[in-house]
Amino acid sequence: MAAVLAAVQACERSTTSPEAHGGSSRGGTIENKGSDTLVNLALSWAETYMGAHSDVRISVTGGGSGTGIAAMIHGTVDIANASREMKPEEIDRARSRGISPVEFVVARDAIAVVVNPRNPVSKLTMQQISDIYTGEITNWRDVGGEDRPVVLLSRESNSGTYVYFLENVIRRGRKESQLLFSPETLLMPSSEGISAEVRLNVNAIGYDGLGYVTPDQKVVAVSRDLGSPYVLPSIATVNDGSYPISRPLYMYTAGRPAGQTREFMEWLLQDGQILVAKLGFVPIKE
């Protein structure tokens, strides 16, 4: 147990002070809510863990990273799933309620850029993707495709994937940038919504976690710039750093977890990692 505890502590980061504020499950059920990117992986973890621990109940729901973090701050869930780090204002709000959030990196993910299989475009630079999503490029012919209008698809603004894509793809990681999604962007409520529209609309472009990409979508190879190689997202290209749109995935607790929640998190960060690659994500350990 001491070795497992050390591994858990190595993967966690208190966003405030090291004091514990609880984080134990309420009413015998571990409540887990947040990122839609993580929801399928979280469900798989929950089902597998409950199969081996008949006395534990784990409830998993989505709704977006912001929704999960807000629920953790207000004490209605034990674990918040997030595909982005907590924002400074969220940490301040937690502190005002006497909560010290603890961050766990639970997996890594590639964000895939997807188009309809009938679209001849198969590669884009990061700058071209930014220009497409800000409305600078509005026709596929400008990036080597056919003379067709570009239809922009995105997750909604409460999604951690939306925030990551805005900050690291559209704004290219520049803190001073004020670039925004084009007002023509269609905001989709779920990964399934993006997948369905891409399948049906030859003009559409979308983005999503690699684990949600289906065979009837075409994944675009991405390069950092014109002088860099075009790389497709995969476990290997995330691990070697060659795919430019990848990120950690997080779970947050209100203080260091205790009781059943602590035991579940210890398992998730150790034996539970075997499920990560099976669902298209990248494990935090070999």
* SS3 track for 150-179: CEEEEECCCCHHHHHHHHHHHCCCCCCCCC
pLDDT of residue 13: 63
Does residue 173 or residue 18 have the better pLDDT? Answer: 173
Instruction: For 120-129, write each residue's pLDDT tens digit.
Output: 999 999 999 9
Walk me through the domains of the chain, giving residue ranges and CATH numbers.
Answer: 2-108+248-278 (3.40.190.10), 110-239 (3.40.190.10)
* pLDDT tens, position by position, 221-250: 999 999 999 999 999 999 999 999 999 999
User: pLDDT tier at 178 (50, 70, 90 boundaries)?
Assistant: very high
Q: What's the count of helices (H) and strands (E) in the chain, helices before strands?
A: 10, 12
**Is the pTM above the cut of 0.85?**
no
Give the pLDDT score at 183. Answer: 98
Can you give the pLDDT at residue 211?
Answer: 86
Query: Please, where are the H alpha helices in 145-243?
Result: 160-165, 191-200, 235-239
Instruction: Give me the pLDDT at residue 7, please.
Output: 37
Q: Two tokens at 20? A: 């514990």
123 DSSP β-pair partners: 221
pLDDT of residue 12: 58
